[in-house]
Chains A and B, each alone.
Chain A
Amino acid sequence: MGTIEDGDGLEPEESLELIRESIRGARRVHAADGRYLVAWGLAVLAASVASLSLAASGIRGPVYAVPWALAYAAGFIASYRISRSGEGASRASSPASRAVAALWTGFVVAAAALAVPRIFGAMDDASYVAALCALLGLVNWGSASALRAPWFRAVAVLWWLGALSIPFLGRAAALIAATVLVLLGQVLPGAVLLVRDLRGRAHA
């Protein structure tokens, strides 16, 4: 053991408080991840509801891609704004957060790429949604490892269950299932991360 230097005068109670503050500060580095999840979740949720409305109205064809294009645009704008915010700026210094950002960016690119065959009719709705669910499972599993949040793995499993079940559902049921999955697997975990951050701030 070394000698006590600038610890002289540091009482054990102060040390414990310093540890708590430092851990809270470190957790705040991941706070922006909750905002990304909520932003993307709400964008995809809106697109799912719009798709559901179009399906219910019997509308098919390229117009079906409009809500998804808008959702991706809204998601990218929201991500950009978050990345420019104070917390977003500090998250750039955390390798874990950068890994999460890279995973989600990869997901959006893959989802947009998959949308092309869907728009041109080479892929049906159920296959498209099932592929997205499988991808979201992978991204959430990766996020769980990067953020050291084991409960996120349950979210990943939920998405994979969705990927397995959606091909067996009808078109409308698949869209409803996807919407519910977005709520449970995207917006809810994001909200949990945000609440955890807000609690940390309240105690700070």
Chain B
Amino acid sequence: MRERDYRALDGLLHSRIRLAVASALMELETAEFSLLRELTGATDGNLSVHLRKLEDSGYLEVRKTYAGRKPVSYYSLSSEGRTAFERYVRALAAFVAPAGAAERGAAGKEEP
């Protein structure tokens, strides 16, 4: 079996929590912290770290507001984040779809 070269995958998205966040936001458009925590099953601290990474990379936009006296943060993917997500999914598909064919091809070449 060929070793896969994961460098083609966006490292910022190739993470369980960040990928779950990006996927959910592709569907929901906007979500607040508590919903993302519920959807990813991550702890507050862990989720905060991953959200910060996405935010620092420009993939995530954050809008902070108040619900009464309670601070609420709404997260959404930036256009750069959406593009990166779509590119990441295309890269994944390229890994998955031709993998069998490539392996079969490689195996075929090895045969005399």
Contact = CB atoms under 8 A, between A and B. Distances in A.
Interface of A: 1-7, 10-13, 15-16, 18-19, 21-23, 25-27, 29, 90, 93-96, 148
Interface secondary structure of A, over-half rule: helix
A95 B76 CA distance: 11
Given A1-B11, A23-B24, A10 B96 contact: no
B27 A26 contact: yes
B35 A93 contact: yes
Contacts of B25: 26
Shortest 7 CB-CB distances between A and B: which pairs? A7-B14, A22-B23, A93-B35, A26-B27, A12-B95, A2-B11, A26-B24
A108 B92 CA distance: 47
Interface residues of B, number: 36
A15 B26 contact: no
Given A26-B24, A94-B28, A1 B35 contact: no
Contact of B14 (A15, A26, A148): A15
Given A4-B9, A95-B31, A148-B29, 15 more contacts: A5-B15, A7-B15, A7-B19, A12-B92, A12-B95, A15-B9, A15-B14, A16-B96, A26-B23, A29-B28, A93-B32, A94-B31, A94-B35, A95-B30, A95-B74
Interface of B: 4, 6, 9-12, 14-17, 19-21, 23-32, 34-35, 38-40, 53, 57, 74, 89, 92-93, 95-96
11 contacts: A6-B17, A7-B6, A7-B11, A10-B14, A11-B4, A12-B9, A19-B92, A22-B20, A23-B27, A95-B30, A95-B31
B38 A6 contact: no
Nearest to A12: B95
Contacts of B39: 22, 25-26, 29
B92 A15 contact: yes
A18 B17 CA distance: 9
Contact of A18 (B20, B30, B95): B20
- The majority secondary structure among interface residues of chain B is helix
B55 to A, nearest CB: 13
B104 to A, nearest CB: 17
A12 to B, nearest CB: 4
Contact of A15 (B11, B17, B19, B29): B19
B74 A10 contact: no
Contacts of B26: 23
A16 B40 CA distance: 15
Nearest to A7: B14
Given A5-B11, A25-B24, A16 B92 contact: yes
B15 A19 contact: no
Contacts of B10: 1-2
